[in-house]
Amino acid sequence: MNETTLQNKSLLILLILVTLAFIWILLPYYGAVFWAVILGIVFAPMQRRLMLKLERKRNLAALITLTTCLVIAILPVIIISALLVQEGALLYKNVESGELDIANYLEEFKHALPSYFQHLLDRTGMGNLEGLRDKITKGAMQGSQYFATQAFSFGQGTLDFIVSFGIMLYLLFFFLRDGPDLVRRIRIAVPLAEQQKRRLQLKFNRVVRATVKGNLLVAVTQGALGGFIFWVLDIPSALLWAVLMALLSLLPAIGAGIVWAPVAAYFLLSGAIWDGVILSAFGILVIGMVDNVLRPILVGKDTRMPDYLILVSTLGGLAVFGLNGFVIGPLIAALFMSSWGIFVSTKQQVRLPADRPRLP
């Protein structure tokens, strides 16, 4: 082993060790760093347009972009989260006190069903409403305790939240201002062919923008529309159901219909015909059409992954990374597919030898 090879291997080992150590010290604030990167990618086009209009004044352009991001993307999430904790705690409190008797609604729903379905529920053991009532009461107690704990922990963890929030804004400013230079340095350091690096970068940017700007905006729109119609029909805790519909809209083959469809069925079977018709029509014609109209415009066909892959990667991301997983999961899946696509495309095709001409 010559001296140059030893030096290269030593440098590689040093790079791996210091990189792992750097990731280790960033783990307590990985969420702040992650969302600074994601928002930097999403708002990078706005930063570039402002740079051209402001004669390449990077600091001013980054400050304007950061303020816009704060107003339209960050503050609404914080406000809705605070309201959601309050409304969720109130909902479970009402269920626990008996003011909102979900088991009674289920009993009315069961009696409104045809006799055949009632007997079917009884035979399968799903018609035991007393047991269901106990489960709901127990769940209400656990839920109210959970939301109370969340509200208490939010108050106790205010300092941590402020620190993480400040780190995110601070990093986002520099990512917006110095983003192109950082990307250029990373591309130089990555030991891949230039075409491969460009392909991975384009895939990364497209998936991030499609997931955040496209899928998230579609989910928020569907959740807002669902919450609006629930509020119009005077259904309790409309905000809580709106957020639940928005989250379920992120998952293919599930969607917001799993929330509004049972409510519409309950209205129709319990005699509230007009409420059921209005909710069904609104759910099918308005909430359902949002996905078909907005998603192709915002996401685009070139960034779409198979629905089954989006579903599995989103659920897996949520299980491993929490709420951050709805972006991290599909992003890892997209990079997995892109990396294997590059690997396969660089493999030389094995060509069979041409058939020898046969002698007469």
The pLDDT of residue 153 is above 60? no
pLDDT (tens digit per residue) in 1-23: 567 778 778 888 888 899 899 88
Same-domain pairing of 180 and 215:
no
Sequence-distant (6+) residues with CB within 8 A of 154 are: 85, 161
The pLDDT of residue 146 is above 70? no
Same-domain pairing of 132 and 198:
no
C-alpha 322: how far from chain center: 10
Using alpha carbons, list the distances in angstroms from residue 148 to 153, 162, 257: 9, 21, 29
257 occurs within a structural domain: yes
Same-domain pairing of 41 and 139:
yes
Spatial distance between the Cα atoms of 303 and 205, rounded to a whole number of angstroms: 10
Same-domain pairing of 199 and 170:
no
Same-domain pairing of 110 and 249:
no
pLDDT the model gives residue 351: 47
279 occurs within a structural domain: yes
Q: Are 75 and 97 in contact (CB under 8 A)?
A: no
Q: Are 251 and 315 in contact (CB under 8 A)?
A: yes
Same-domain pairing of 222 and 150:
no
How many DSSP H helices and E strands does the chain contain? Answer: 17, 0
Does pTM top 0.75 for this prediction?
no
**Residue range 31-45: mean pLDDT, rounded:** 88
- Give the end of a domain, one of 132, 164, 189: 189
- Give the end of a domain, one of 189, 214, 230: 189
**Residue range 269-296: mean pLDDT, rounded:** 83
**Residue range 147-173: mean pLDDT, rounded:** 72
- The share of the chain scoring above pLDDT 70, in percent, equals 72
Closest CA to 330 of 243, 219, 248, 215: 215
The pLDDT of residue 64 is above 90? yes
216 occurs within a structural domain: yes
pLDDT the model gives residue 66: 92
Query: How many domains does the chain fold into?
Result: 2
Same-domain pairing of 43 and 84:
yes
The domain of 122 spans: 31-189
Neighbour count for residue 297 (Cβ, 10 Å): 9
Same-domain pairing of 237 and 330:
yes
355 occurs within a structural domain: no
- Give the end of a domain, one of 155, 189, 223: 189
